[in-house]
Structure 1
Amino acid sequence: MTPTVHELRNEIRTATGRFEREVSTTFTKEDLAAICDAVNYDIDANSLPSKPQMRAGILYQIGELDDDAPDSTQNPFKKAELVRIADTVRDD
């Protein structure tokens, strides 16, 4: 059986040193910053970029986008993107 979006998010959270959530919720800025670190997308940890910028950077680093422009990442990750991110951080 394929994992749910909630299960994928929690897998990514734990793989990046964050904690699981009991209810399904999108990633916080801190969660996204941890994922950026895991996929080697350089951000300023003292002044976190916007969520769309970090999502674009993550997708760029894993080969899902051609650049890290946030225009195409205004919404939370899609399930297929979460699967790809989970595969990437699981391998690290």
Structure 2
Amino acid sequence: MTRTVDDLRNEIRLAVGRYERQESTAFTKEALAAICDAVDYEIDTNRLPSKPQMRAGILWKIGVLEEDDPDKAGNPFRKEELKSIAASLQDE
């Protein structure tokens, strides 16, 4: 069975201790922060960075990007990126 973007997001949410969502939504800042923690991308949890910064950091830590450049992660994760994140969290 092919996993949808929503399936992948929920799989990732559950892997980092967040809750599954019934409706289709992108990750909140808090969910992105939990993913950052899971992939060992250090952020200031007292003042969360921007979503693009956290997305870039996550993609950098799992080897999708060569650097944590927020200009390269301005949009929500694409399906292939979600697959890579989910796979990296399963390897943990």
TM-score, normalisation: structure 1: 0.98
Listed as ranges, the matches of 1:1-92 within 5 Å are 1-92=1-92
Cα deviations across residues 30-86 of structure 1 (Å, max 9, x unaligned)? 000000000000000100000000000000000000100100111000000000000
**May I ask how many residue pairs the two structures share in their alignment?**
92
What percent of counterpart residues are identical?
65
Q: Following the alignment from structure 1 to structure 2, what is the Cα–Cα distance between the partners of residues 72 and 89? A: 22
Q: CA deviation at 1:90?
A: 1.6
Any gaps of 5 or more consecutive residues in structure 2? none
| SS of aligned partner of 2:58 | helix
Deviation at 1:91, TM superposition (A): 1.8
Unaligned runs of 5+ in 1: none
